Amino acid sequence: MDLAFIPSPSRGVVELGPIPLRGYAFCIIIGVFVAVWLGNKRWIDRGGRSGTVADIAVWAVPFGLVGGRLYHVITDYQLYFSDGRDWVDAFKIWEGGLGIWGAIALGAVGAWIGCRRRGIPLPAWADALAPGIALAQAIGRWGNWFNQELYGKATDVPWALKITSAEDGRVPGTYHPTFLYESLWCIGVAVLVIWADRRFKLGHGRAFALYVAAYCAGRGWIEYMRVDDAHHVLGLRLNVWTAIVVFLLAVAYFVVSAKKHPGREEIVEPDDESSADGSDADASKLTKAEGETKDAEKAEDAKASDEEAGSAKKS
């Protein structure tokens, strides 16, 4: 007899009149708002302007959603394209199914486009947003709770998750709440990145690399606990291998960046608000340098005139 457990919601959608509010989509939306809010505060602290993070997020978020969905559909294609399945379900993102690996990869492409249009360095923007992304993941994982999905092995621990649905091959019972484990881990990652960034003044993408490495370290063992269907390579789930590879890449980037750029960026956003891309920012810097050169030349001319006047008085 289970004396304690985490109950699952009886349904994953709440009807607000004619509008269905799905728990999964709601968690994703709240997560995005939290990430942009915290990212904006951190961007301003680094010398940027308010609103820049949101402007670039307009590019990054749609790309990230598409990338996350593509990764999920490609790696779990049997859920949509096997016998008895409807391929149209691949577009029903509100029913769950986003791969963080694809979301980060394609989201970075969207962020790069937005950063280039604003003439700011992508690594600096990513550093500002890193802990916010971790918190967004922590919130988004509760969408899996609403959908009664992505739980772990059967268990009778007091914090076990009680699954009541028997749809799509589920077996009602109590299981490890891997959604909760990952949510708590992501909160810890956000705290770690914020602390390390303040303590060591991380820059040039190192705060983002730390987030990626720390997340992958937790995702590896959490993924190993899950019991949902997944492709296996050499006895390990595909996402475990992905976490290992991405972890190594993040650590390598962190080390190389620390050697090449030991400090933090002095300027993260150009003063000229009309800059549309990196070339405009470069032109602004060139104009400023030319102005400084002219000022120096005028000062030298004035000094020479004073010396000549002094010589004339002596004579």
Q: b or e along 262-297 (b: 16 or more beta carbons within 10 Å of the residue's beta carbon)?
A: eebbeebbbeeeebeebebbeebeeeeeeeeeeeee
232 phi and psi, to 5 degrees? -115, 145
Q: Mind listing the pLDDT tens digit for each residue in 4-43?
A: 788 988 777 766 667 777 888 889 999 999 999 999 999 9
Structural domain boundaries of the chain?
A: 6-260, 276-315
The predicted structure's pLDDT at residue 303: 61
Asked if residues 164 and 145 have their Cβ atoms less than 8 Å apart, the reply is no
User: Quick one: angle between helices 238-260 and 100-118, nearest 10?
Assistant: 30
The predicted structure's pLDDT at residue 169: 78
> Does the pLDDT at position 204 exceed 70?
yes
Looking at 92-101, 154-163, 173-182, which range is the least confident one?
92-101
> Does the pLDDT at position 140 exceed 50?
yes
Task: Say which DSSP state 108 is in.
Answer: H
Look at the chain and count its residues: 315
What is the pairing mode between strands 173-175 and 161-163? antiparallel
Bigger pLDDT: 141 vs 305: 141
Q: Token pair of 30, please?
A: 């709240």
Q: Scanning the structure block, which residue is given the tokens 């992508």?
A: 122
Q: What rounded mean pLDDT belongs to the chain?
A: 85
- Short-list 133, 128, 114, CA closest to 46: 128
Q: How far is CA 260 from CA 83, 100, 125, 254, in A?
A: 53, 29, 18, 10
Helix segments in 201-264, DSSP class H: 206-225, 238-260
